Amino acid sequence: QVQLVESGGGLVQAGGSLRLSCAASGRTASSYAMGWFRQTPGKEREFVARIGWSAISIYYTGSVKGRFTISRDTAKNTVSLQMNSLKPEDTAVYYCAAEIKAGQWGYWGQGTQVTVSS
């Protein structure tokens, strides 16, 4: 079992920055690829970024490339998402997730709200 707890959300003006963190606990947490997703009311959850267990393979959705950076600290079992040049369309609840098999995200955090004002 893996528990994920996000933190770092908040309200920021357009062009500003926020850093989200996800603390993972559980015996096998460090062996999973980790990802960030986001969701707005009435829309499906959207993939944002993924980082492999070794932190070598990293992927981003197109709309955040060049603005967001995902990283992980395996020793501390944390995954972070540095978000720069934020836009109002980045407003969403952001979720941390663990990929238990390829394409299967089996563990989720409770989410943290990010609001970007124009």
49 in Cβ contact with 55 (< 8 Å)? no
Spatial distance between the Cα atoms of 93 and 88, rounded to a whole number of angstroms: 13
pLDDT at 109 over 90: yes
Spatial distance between the Cα atoms of 39 and 25, rounded to a whole number of angstroms: 24
Average pLDDT over residues 28-44: 91
Spatial distance between the Cα atoms of 70 and 51, rounded to a whole number of angstroms: 7
Read off the pLDDT of residues 37-91 as tens digits, 9 standing for 90 and up: 999 999 999 999 999 988 889 999 999 999 999 999 988 999 999 999 999 999 9
